Amino acid sequence: MKGVEIHDLHPQGFLAFDLKDILRSLGNDALERFWRCENIECTGEATQELELVENARAWISGLELLAIAERATQVICGNFLGRRAGELSDSLRISAIDSSCWEVFADDPCLAKLRASFRNVRTTQHDAR
């Protein structure tokens, strides 16, 4: 999969967006997938719920992930792996990288949505991890 890094910053120097903004930008491409979480570190009301999903290795719907993301203050690091019903492997991967940027690996239409939604989007120099 091809990927992009998103680096949009607030004038005070921290990231100006979070997981909920990426999911909203992707629209149905995010909502129609089922998601699992790995190596999550976050703050806010969603912390405990994300830990439960991760520890249970559970798959949740795109709507559930968006609802959880809405309650997260900040996702510091972690991977969100999405696939459509019937897919045998992840077709969308969203990763928070130590509060410094987000990486998204997906098909060209998804990446085009992100380039249109965010200002500082760069092509990744590596494949999905």
Burial (CB count <10 Å: 0-12, 13-18, 19+), residue 116: exposed
What pLDDT does 19 receive? 97
What pLDDT does 1 receive? 85
Q: Is residue 128 part of a domain?
A: no
Q: Is residue 55 part of a domain?
A: yes
Per-residue pLDDT reduced to its tens digit, 43-69? 999 999 999 999 999 999 999 999 999
Q: Is residue 25 part of a domain?
A: yes
What pLDDT does 126 receive? 79
Question: Which residues of 45-124 form beta strands (DSSP E)?
Answer: 60-61, 72-83, 92-97, 101-106, 121-123
Higher-pLDDT residue of 13, 22:
22
Q: Is residue 45 part of a domain?
A: yes
Per-residue pLDDT reduced to its tens digit, 85-116? 999 999 999 999 999 999 999 999 999 999 99
Please say if the pLDDT value at position 129 is more than 70: no
Please say if the pLDDT value at position 40 is more than 90: yes
Mean pLDDT value across the chain: 95
| Number of domains composing the chain | 1
Its domain, for residue 27, covers 2-123
Q: Is residue 111 part of a domain?
A: yes
Element (H, E) at 51: helix 47-56
* φ, ψ for residue 13, nearest 5 deg: 100, -5
Alpha carbon 129 to its chain's center: 14
Q: Is residue 129 part of a domain?
A: no
Q: Is residue 38 part of a domain?
A: yes
Please say if the pLDDT value at position 13 is more than 90: no
Quickly state the pLDDT bin for 127 (edges 50, 70, 90).
confident
Q: Are 84 and 91 in contact (CB under 8 A)?
A: yes
